[in-house]
Amino acid sequence: MWWTNPITFVNARVITADGGVLRTLRVKRGRIDGLGVAPDKSDTVVDLDGAVVFPGLINAHDHLELNSQPRLKWRGRYDNAREWIADFQPRFDTDPQLAVARPATLDDRVWVGGLKNLLSGVTTVCHHNPLHRPLRRRFPIRVVQRYGFSHSLHIDGGAVADSHRRTPAGWPWMIHAAEGVDDEARGEITALQRLGCLAANTVLIHGVAMCHLATDVVLRAGAGLVWCPSSNHFLFDCTADVRRFDDADRLALGSDSRLSGEGDLLDELQAAHDTRQLSAEGLTRTVTTGAAGLLRLPGAGRLAVGAPADLTVLRSTEDDPFDALVTASRADVRLTMVGGEPRLGDPAMAAVFSAARTASMPAAVDGAPRIVARWIARHVAGMQVTEPGFEVVH
Ligand SMILES: [Zn+2]
């Protein structure tokens, strides 16, 4: 990255690791080089006009290949996830709405998941399924590479304990758990404890049925929770009580896939905000430091000198910068930068692409003009399924 020109963003609201707000941020050779500093003489200076600079957002739970079909259910409300899976599993081959999810388009479909996340300002996603080949290559955003996982106790049964045992203690191990409102869902925490699967690297997804005692057990083990409120409301009409997980700093937020989730991570932040469980600042933690802690991503989730320049820049819509995040939609994302490389921005960010020596192409998101890194545009041009609302202008 020696060939790139340093960039200083000025007239910004930069959210620092301790919750402070500074006016400038300098990027050099892919890393954050200064916070609250004046630009050097040779820097490319970019005036952000009061926009808010967050650490690149982290989506702690998605199934990247399952974002090309509509949200589906066949009952008004389920009691647990097993019933819902039993409803859609046999329809994968027969329901025309699920036809877009054919194996032949797997590479394209994981890219749709990647684009969905990129467009919403996400710079790192945790994918819950095997690490498909495209996810190990150049991809629109970072994908967590080191993790272990099971789907759930009701799908993987006896293989769950083995999966946990095989996962190195320094990697997160993830499982859908207590996803429902009945005794079966409630019993999963005790079952995981009995199997020896509750540990400091355990990341439970959903936890809707968790009572006060189960939360005690999980937190005592040092495990954490990924909250997916919109998916929970869609299937069960309610969601988890997450406040004690936030107090213990063991909470992250995930969009889940569009099969059950509302949409992207910004939609999920709004759904989380609507539950009134956490403040806007608390919700910001769930997509930055909280997620980085659970997913074992040192250096991610915070703006600090020396950290990789993963940035999400949002249009200033509110006086409080945290309110700006929890009320944002993808139209408000002005720039997504990964490791100093701009990937998607509004046209006013052209100087950032030039300074980073990133070739770009014009694009549109929901009809609004954008600039996208050319290597992403070229890949998108060859895809059979695409992200709705995203167009590359040729
Ligand atoms: Zn899931």
Q: For 301-324, how does the pLDDT look when each residue is reduced to its tens digit (9 = 90+)?
A: 999 999 999 999 999 878 899 999
Say what the pLDDT of residue 297 is: 98
For residue 53, pLDDT beyond 90: yes
pLDDT digits (tens, 9 = 90+) for 132-154: 999 999 999 999 999 999 999 99
Say what the pLDDT of residue 102 is: 72
Rounded Cα gap, residues 378 and 382, in angstroms: 7
Q: What is the mean pLDDT of the chain?
A: 95
Cα 35 to Cα 7, 27, 326: the distances in Å are 12, 9, 24
Angle formed by the axes of helices 183-194 and 212-220, to 10°? 20
| Two tokens, residue 369 | 């003009």
Say what the pLDDT of residue 100 is: 67
CATH hierarchy code of domain 58-294? 3.20.20.140
Say what the pLDDT of residue 69 is: 85
Rounded Cα gap, residues 68 and 102, in angstroms: 10
Looking at domain 7-56+301-392, its CATH class is mainly beta
Based on its alpha-carbon atoms, the radius of gyration of the chain, rounded to whole angstroms, reads 21
Do 15 and 56 touch, CB atoms closer than 8 A? no
Mean pLDDT (whole number) for 192-209: 98
Mean pLDDT (whole number) for 213-231: 97
Higher pLDDT, 215 or 69: 215
CA of 296 to the centre of ligand 1 (A): 19
Instruction: Please give the share of the chain, as a percent, with pLDDT higher than 70.
Output: 98
Say what the pLDDT of residue 90 is: 84
Neighbours of 16 (CB within 10 A): 17
Mean pLDDT (whole number) for 260-266: 95
Say what the pLDDT of residue 204 is: 98
Band of the pLDDT at 96, cuts 50, 70, 90?
confident
CA of 161 to the centre of ligand 1 (A): 19
CA of 239 to the centre of ligand 1 (A): 14
Helix (H), strand (E), coil (C) string for the chain: CCCCCCEEEECCEEECCCCCEECCEEEECCEEEEECCCCCCCCEEEECCCCEEEECEEEEEECHHHCCCCCCCCCCCCCEHHHHHHHHHHHHHCCHHHHHHCHHHHHHHHHHHHHHHHHCCEEEEEECCCCCHHHHCCCCCEECCCCEEEEEHHHHCCHHHHHHHHCCCCCCEEEEECCECCHHHHHHHHHHHHCCCCCCCEEEEECCCCCHHHHHHHHHCCCEEEECHHHHHHHHCCCCCCHHHHHCCCEEECCCCCCCCCCCHHHHHHHHHHCCCCCHHHHHHHCCHHHHHHCCCCCCCCCCCCCECCEEEECCCCCCHHHHHHCCCHHHEEEEEECCEEEEECHHHHHHHHHCCCCEEEEEECCEEEEEEHHHHHHHHCCCCCCCCEEECC
CA of 148 to the centre of ligand 1 (A): 14
Rounded Cα gap, residues 379 and 381, in angstroms: 5
Rounded Cα gap, residues 329 and 382, in angstroms: 27
CA of 157 to the centre of ligand 1 (A): 17
Say what the pLDDT of residue 1 is: 62
Q: Where in the chain is the domain with CATH 3.20.20.140?
A: 58-294
For residue 270, pLDDT beyond 80: yes
pLDDT digits (tens, 9 = 90+) for 103-133: 668 999 999 999 999 999 999 999 999 999 9
Say what the pLDDT of residue 101 is: 66
CA of 371 to the centre of ligand 1 (A): 31
CA of 255 to the centre of ligand 1 (A): 9
CA of 257 to the centre of ligand 1 (A): 7
Among the residue ranges 83-92, 261-270, 373-382, the one predicted with the least confidence is: 83-92
Q: Where in the chain is the domain with CATH 2.30.40.10?
A: 7-56+301-392
Band of the pLDDT at 35, cuts 50, 70, 90?
very high
